[in-house]
Structure 1
Amino acid sequence: MNADKNRELVEGEDFYIENGLYVFTREYLLKRGFCCQSGCRHCPYGFVKSNQQPLSEKNSK
């Protein structure tokens, strides 16, 4: 088996907690290797749910 699949997540490296929710980092999502199409905040694959504003629009306000 792949050792990365059994590795525990590291807070601050793989995720952080915001308002009681786990937020995965871009680095973790890249290591995972695929887009889950859930609209992750730091999605490195460019996926945006249809009811979300793209990150570039959020930052320009």
Structure 2
Amino acid sequence: MKEIIPIEEGDFYWSENGFRVFTAQYHYKRGYCCESGCRHCPFGYDPKTNTQ
């Protein structure tokens, strides 16, 4: 089972459409790329080429 990362101030914001958008801060805390094409991925994942 994957580790549960507690959500803290600055880890996400709400988009104008009501979606939770995780920030690079949260992704760094999580420590790995989920390869979902996240908007603020600090790991450089490109969903078009499926590479980091």
RMSD: 2.2
Percent of aligned pairs with the same residue? 49
Higher helix share: 1
TM-score by length of 2: 0.74
Deviating beyond 3 angstroms after TM superposition, the runs of 4 or more aligned structure 1 residues are none
Name which structure has the greater RCO, CA cutoff 8 Å, separation 6+: 2
Paired residues, number: 46
- Deviation per CA, 1:11-31, whole angstroms, max 9, x where unpaired? x50000101111000011001
- Deviation per CA, 1:33-57, whole angstroms, max 9, x where unpaired? 0000000000000002118xxxxxx
Counterpart in the other structure of 1:22: 20
TM-score by length of 1: 0.64
Give distance in 2, aligned partners of 1:50 and 1:16.
25
Greater C-alpha Rg: 1
Gaps of 5+ in 2: none
Give distance in 1, aligned partners of 2:10 and 2:24.
9
